[in-house]
Structure 1
Amino acid sequence: MQQILDAILAGDTAPEDFASIALPESYKAVTVHKDDVDMFEGVASRDKDPRKSLHLDEVPIPELAPGEALVAVMASAINYNTVWTSIFEPVSTFGFLERYGRLSEYSKRHDLPYHVVGSDLAGVVLRTGPGVNLWKPGHEVVAHCLSVELESPDGHDDTMMDPQQRIWGFETNFGGLAHLAIVKANQLMPKPDHLSWEEAASPGLVNSTAYRQLVSKNGANMKQGDVVLIWGASGGLGSYATQMALNGGAIPVCVVSSPEKADIVRSLGAEHVIDRSAEGYTFWKDEHNQDPKEWQRFGKKIRELTGGEDPDIVFEHPGRETFGASVYVARKGGTIITCASTSGYMHQYDNRYLWMNLKNIKSSHFANYREAWEANRLIEKGLIHPTVSKVYSLEETGQAALDVHQNKHQGKVGVLCLSPEEGLGVRNEEKRALHIEGINRFRGV
């Protein structure tokens, strides 16, 4: 492994040299264990501690299948799906691995008593399987997390519709929180050369998700002038949605939960900001009943900021806590587009405000390859910037996941894998200098 790292750090190692480096028999990886799935039984979700369930193990390198690539992972990042995996909610991911394992001889590799987690990476290709032509050893890459088989016609118009669509590192094994990772070659994209490894790794999942959800024709199809309500606007998803809204000529209304987070989104260029903590919005009276008067108060605040306009688009991902309010405040004919349920997936809303005002609830899930590529291109062009606030070592992944679980983070939380320190991997210093303020905006916040 040290030979691999030395070759990457040299920065000028030839492709044939990468191809000739001997691979180790095993590698370090962050895992959950199948025999731990009941460890949090009876514990409230908020009290489940990923530090207890995430392990740093030495695991064997799996066989490389046709169409796949083995990547040396320099850095990765934490997403909510790693938090869900670590607390075994809403279900254990081992059920995903078991089902995938029944698909083919090669997919059997994924059905193991441990699950290597992580759905982001930046690193270097070491090996490719039969049938891979575009990517070669030595290529510096990032990976999106869409894993598809594409043997059914259903996925050939939009690969997210493939019946065998999965999220790599969540519904498959051999994820990115490790020294090595296995991905399908069509998950790979060029690493933006002005970013460090941890910066390049962090946007993958959330940037692509925000792009499809907000910009793509498969999502809300945002246009210039749209009023876009963005929940959690300084968080992993919201920070990218805010940048996309501003870049696309829309008018974001950014909902945050502290003065510090309000300052961050204002620094991005957002003018309309709602601090939930300062305003004291409580959308639920108790566990079973929402408070429509709070929806009304929230809607009034939005109109005060926008000059009397309601949101054309509501960028939804908190789920249960906010969904009733989201349906209420969307304009007549507006769209509530949802991609997650971080506060609970059993949503409740008053359907009268939906059907009588011709509003639309639309779902969005990750992104297809084209959308992911377009989202990564925005990063490469310096039109969208990574939102890394803090970086952990691989050994500290449990703490990083706990911080995300407890919403103590801003933007994205990065994890160094093979990279020995932050700041490595920048290949274009001149380009970086043009965007350094945007790149560092979330750092240390």
Structure 2
Amino acid sequence: MQQILDVIMEAEKAPDHAEQLRKLSGVTIPTTYEGVVVRAEESTMFDGLSTAEKDPRKALHVQEVPTPEVGPGEALIAVMASAINYNTVWTSIFEPMSTFGFLKRYGKVSELTARHDLPYHVVGSDAAGVVLKVGAGVTRWKAGDQIVAHCLSVELEEAAGHDDTMLDPQQRIWGFETNFGGLAQLALVKANQLMPKPAHLTWEEAASPGLVNSTAYRQLVSHHGANMKQGDVVLIWGASGGLGSYATQMALNGGAIPVCVVSSPDKAELCHRMGAELVIDRAAEGYKFWADKHTQDPSEWKRFGARIRELTGGEDPDIVFEHPGRETFGASVFVAKRGGTIVTCASTSGYEHQYDNRYLWMSLKRIIGSHFANYREAWEANRLIDLGRIHPTLSKTFPMDQTGQAAYDVHRNAHQGKVGVLCLAPATGLGVRDQEKRSQLLNSITRFSGV
């Protein structure tokens, strides 16, 4: 592993860094590597505890694991940095189910996928790094290429996936429903998960947008999602968080009018820094959409809707960007305008949603389910990062041996934007290839840093 890192670090300051990285084609691939794992033997460790009581730090371990063989159409990458997504939190607390069920089912697909069915699960659905080796049939990528990886893993052997790869019956999220994920020194991906690393970003910055940026793109911009247009009023829950911070930028970049919902003055300030003008601090204004565990309070929906119209000059949201789920969904359906769209991609506060269907059917509203992004959407979202139209929202970076703490912070919502993890990278700030472009965009790139 040290030989791999030495080549990458020698290329760091070399003017011909791309050529220097080609030396990785001659490096011996180590037989083992360190990865962040959950263990099948511990999958019942939190039984009987509430979600809030479950601690990712107890379930996430850094351990040495065997390096998988690289199969046809695959690539092995040296991971310089990764990031925490909520699916890693779910994996670490074994909710809503243990991911070992996913690995077992995937292992039955073919002899190649059988490698994923193991008593440990290397987690993580983001990565920035360098290609080490490619399998048979891979022509676009070669050893030394600097890449980021998106998390769509799909077999594409059935017709259903060829119009929209998210509809493939064997669609999975890498590092969550497959093994050998990105929170590790090495990672195994399908070669069509690879995209060019934006040259003006550090490794940890480049690793942080992947999952959430692509998810927000499909959810808001794509015709598979809300198909946002200029002038749309877009209500964004958790607008300074890992997902919402990209939705906020995309709304602004696309000429829409974001109404950002946050839970503290600090988070409101971050939204203003991104350029948003309309912000609701739901904690300060005391919204309580549930009177108790079983009963929602429609009067609070109405108060919330009135506040939105006060900010927008009387307009209701054309689009509601949903991901908290149970806690907010009733309010989301209520406040969307007549003919409006509620687009949902997650349920971090609970999967069983309740809403008053009269406000949906009688006002001709739509609910759209949205999950990650297809290949084209992921590339388009990454292009926006590369162009400097959308920026990373990285607030803090942990070393790999503190991944449990990083996931704990996300579980407790004690973070802003995205939380990064250094894997092979020995320090933050490495990997920048285009300093001139970076200097022009620095204030936007670093506006979440240290918050």
Q: TM-score, normalised by structure 2?
A: 0.98
Please state how far the C-alpha of 1:16 moved relative to its aligned partner.
4.5
Tell me, yes or no, if the aligned pair for 1:74 and 1:179 is still in contact at 8 Å.
Answer: yes
Aligned partner of 1:409 in structure 2 is: 415
Post-superposition offset of 1:10: 1.8
> Deviation at 1:64?
0.8
Which structure 2 residue ranges, 5 or more long, are not aligned? 12-16
1:34 aligns with one of 14, 35, 40: 40
Counterpart among 102, 116, 119 of residue 125 in structure 2: 119
> 1:392 touches 1:415 (CA, 8 Å); kept in 2?
yes
Question: Which stretch of the first structure deviates more once superposed, 15-24 or 104-113?
Answer: 15-24
What one-letter code is carried by the residue in structure 2 that aligns with 1:8?
I
Distance between the aligned counterparts of 1:189 and 1:433, measured in 2? 23
Trace 1:14-413 onto structure 2 (pairs within 5 A): 14=20, 16-413=22-419
Task: Tell me the matched-pair count.
Answer: 445
The equivalent residue for 2:9 is 9
Cα distance in 2 for residues equivalent to 1:23 and 1:215 = 40
Query: Could you tell me how far 1:26 is from its partner in structure 2?
Result: 0.2
The answer (yes or no) to whether the contact 1:15–1:136 under 8 Å persists in 2 is: no
Assess if the C-alpha contact under 8 Å between 2:220 and 2:228 holds in 1: yes
Amino acid at match of 1:177: L
How far does residue 67 in structure 1 lie from its aligned partner after superposition? 0.2
Q: Which amino acid aligns with 1:118?
A: G
- Name the SS for the 1:319 alignment partner: coil
How big is the shift at 1:23?
1.1
Contact 2:8 2:21 in 1 (8 A): no
Please provide the CA RMSD for this pair: 0.6
- Report the alpha carbon displacement of residue 14 of structure 1 after superposing the two structures with TM: 3.6
Q: Which amino acid aligns with 2:273?
A: S
Equivalent AA in structure 2 for residue 282 of structure 1: K
TM-score (normalised: structure 1): 1.00
Q: Does 1:425 align with 2:431?
A: yes
Q: Aligned partners of 2:440, 2:139: CA distance in 1, in Å?
A: 34
Q: Deviation digits for residues 215-247 of structure 1, max 9, x if unmatched?
A: 001100000000000000000010000000000
C-alpha separation in 2, matches of 1:392 and 1:92: 25
> Once the two structures are aligned, what percentage of the paired residues are identical?
73
Contact 1:78/1:401, CA 8 A, preserved across alignment: yes
Separation of aligned partners in 2, 1:16 and 1:401: 34
- 1:185-236: CA deviation from partner (whole Å, max 9, x where unpaired): 0000000000000000000000000000000011000000000000000000
**Gap regions ≥5 residues in structure 1:** none
Native 8 Å contact 1:75 1:419 kept in 2: yes
CA contact (8 A) 2:129 2:146 kept: yes
Q: Distance in 2 between matches of 1:334 and 1:102?
A: 42
Separation in structure 2 between the aligned mates of residue 42 and residue 172 of structure 1, nearest angstrom: 27
Q: CA deviation at 1:15?
A: 5.3
**CA shift at 1:9, angstroms?**
1.4
Kept after mapping to 2: 8 A contact 1:283/1:290: yes
Distance in 1 of aligned mates of 2:392 and 2:364:
36
Secondary structure at the counterpart of residue 300 of structure 2 = helix
- The one-letter amino acid paired with 1:137 is A
Offset of 1:17 from its aligned partner?
1.6
- Confirm or deny: 8 A CA contact 1:78 1:412 kept in the other structure: yes
Greater Cα shift, 281-290 or 12-21: 12-21
> For 1:311 and 1:354, how far apart are their aligned partners in 2?
14
